């Protein structure tokens, strides 16, 4: 079923146009990488605060409140550029288990970031959350790079 979806998608005029334009994939990838940088650095800063603050989480939640608009904007651009890259080469992405793992990690990261605002009332496990956020980000970037090799 996914294979026929890939075949259909690859045969659409939009996918054909994206494949013909030699500049399209690298340009979209550049935007994708810059947004990865924005999300990763923001997550790194929050994770460091979560790891450093054992008693009060005010520093981490205040920083998250400031960074939230930029992070959600970057995540939205990442989703859009990801869709464009998938339309261009559907089989390379959708049939690849690394890509599927990456999507799962994206959902997990977004869900975790969504809970950050509520942390003020639940400070326990903050260090664990920091480690988890960092691990997720590193795994996401690793998966993103290894799609090309698996």
Partner 1 sequence: MFERLHALCQGIERLPFAQQIRESGWMFPTLETLHVIALAVVVGSILSVDVRLLGRGSHTAAFTVLARELLPWAWGGFVLASLAGLLMFASKAVTYAENGPFQAKLLLLLLAGCNMALFHGLGMRNLQQWDTRQPPLAAKLAGAFSILLWVGVVAAGRWIGFTT
Q: How far, in Å, CA of 5 to CA of 90, rounded?
A: 8
Q: What's the longest Cα–Cα distance across the chain?
A: 56
CB distance 123 to 58 below 8 Å: no
List the interface residues with partner 1, window 48-87 (CB under 8 A).
66, 70
Q: How far, in Å, CA of 144 to CA of 33, rounded?
A: 10
Q: Considering only the stretches 1-9, 10-18, 113-121, 138-146, report the one whose residues sit in contact with partner 1 under the rule CB under 8 A.
A: 138-146
Position among 10, 19, 38, 94 found at the interface with partner 1 (CB under 8 A): 38
Smallest distance from the beta carbon of 95 to partner 1, in angstroms?
Answer: 19
Task: Give the footprint of partner 1 on this chain (CB under 8 A).
Answer: 22, 25-27, 29-30, 33-34, 36-42, 44-45, 66, 70, 138, 141-142, 144-146, 148-149
């Amino acid at each position: 079923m996914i294979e026929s979806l890939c075949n259909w998608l690859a045969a659409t005029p939009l996918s054909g146009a994206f494949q013909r334009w030699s500049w399209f994939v690298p340009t979209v990838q550049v935007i994708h990488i810059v947004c990865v940088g924005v999300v990763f650095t923001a997550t790194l800063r929050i994770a460091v605060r979560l790891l450093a603050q054992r008693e009060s989480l005010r520093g981490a939640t205040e920083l998250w409140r400031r960074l939230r608009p930029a992070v959600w904007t970057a995540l939205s651009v990442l989703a859009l550029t990801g869709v464009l890259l998938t339309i261009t080469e559907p089989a390379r992405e959708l049939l690849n288990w690394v890509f599927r793992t990456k999507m799962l990690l994206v959902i997990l990261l977004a869900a975790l970031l969504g809970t950050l605002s509520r942390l003020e009332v639940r400070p326990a496990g903050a260090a664990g959350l920091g480690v988890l956020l960092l691990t997720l980000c590193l795994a996401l970037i690793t998966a993103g790079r290894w799609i090309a090799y698996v």
